[in-house]
Structure 1
Amino acid sequence: MATWQCVKQCGACCNLDPADRPEIEDYLTPEELELYMSMVGEGGWCINFDHETRECRIYANRPRFCRVETTIFEDMYGIEPEELNDFAIECCRQQIEGVYGDRSLEMLRFDKAVGF
């Protein structure tokens, strides 16, 4: 069975382009939406994403919507705890494909890490 995990130095989720998330207003509070939009920088990339190290500069203090945690996904998306693993894997695969491509090094690394 595949098990979700974040793959270091990927950063696909740091591509915040609102055009790629048309339902964003459905799952963020007005305050979170304002914060989200303030984080969108050049090319849709998060202003806190370090392109050289490919890591988040505020990881320990990142907003709720940047975290893959059971209670957050249940609250934001209605995902039951037992569904989180499969849902998170699919979300990551879609995001990685959209940002880097389905045959990218990032996708290969992610698939290997999760056992896909």
Structure 2
Amino acid sequence: MATWQCVKNCGACCYLEPSERPELDEYLGSEELELYLSLVGEDGWCIHYNHQNRECSIYSNRPRFCRVQPEVFTEMFGIEPPELNDFAIDCCQQQIEGVYGADSTEMKQYNDQVGWV
């Protein structure tokens, strides 16, 4: 069984371009939406994403909407804890495909590490 995990050297979730996420206001409250938009750099990437080491520079203090945790996904998306694993894997795969491509090194690395067959 595949098990969701954050994979190092990916960072696809740090690509925040709002035009590619038109439903933001459906799952973020007004304060969180304002915070989200304040994090988007001119290139569409989070201003806290370090492109050289491919890591978040505020990881331990990242916003709630950047956390893959049962209570966050229940509040934001209505996903119950038993559904979280498969939902999170699907979200990551969609984001990685959109940012890097379906046949990218990042997608292969992600699928290998989560055990996706």
TM-score range, shorter chain: over 0.9
Query: For residue 111 of structure 2, what is the aligned residue in structure 1?
Result: 111
Query: For residue 59 of structure 1, what is the aligned residue in structure 2?
Result: 59
Aligned partner of residue 52 in structure 2, secondary structure: coil
Matched, 1:43 2:43: yes
Query: For residue 22 of structure 1, what is the aligned residue in structure 2?
Result: 22
Number of residues paired by the alignment? 116
Query: For residue 87 of structure 2, what is the aligned residue in structure 1?
Result: 87
Query: For residue 13 of structure 1, what is the aligned residue in structure 2?
Result: 13
Show structure 1 runs of 4+ deviating over 2 A. Answer: none
Instruction: Give, in angstroms, the shift of residue 60 of structure 1.
Output: 0.1
Query: For residue 3 of structure 1, what is the aligned residue in structure 2?
Result: 3
Task: Give the TM-score, by structure 1 length.
Answer: 0.99
Instruction: Give, in angstroms, the shift of residue 42 of structure 1.
Output: 2.3
Query: For residue 69 of structure 2, what is the aligned residue in structure 1?
Result: 69
2:70 aligned partner, one-letter code: T
| Structure 2 gaps, min length 5 | none
Query: Percent same amino acid at aligned positions?
Result: 66
Q: Deviations over 1:34-71 (max 9, x none)?
A: 00000000220000000000000000000000000000
| Structure 1 gaps, min length 5 | none
Partners of 2:75 and 2:57 lie apart in 1 by 26
1:89 aligned partner, one-letter code: I
RMSD: 0.5
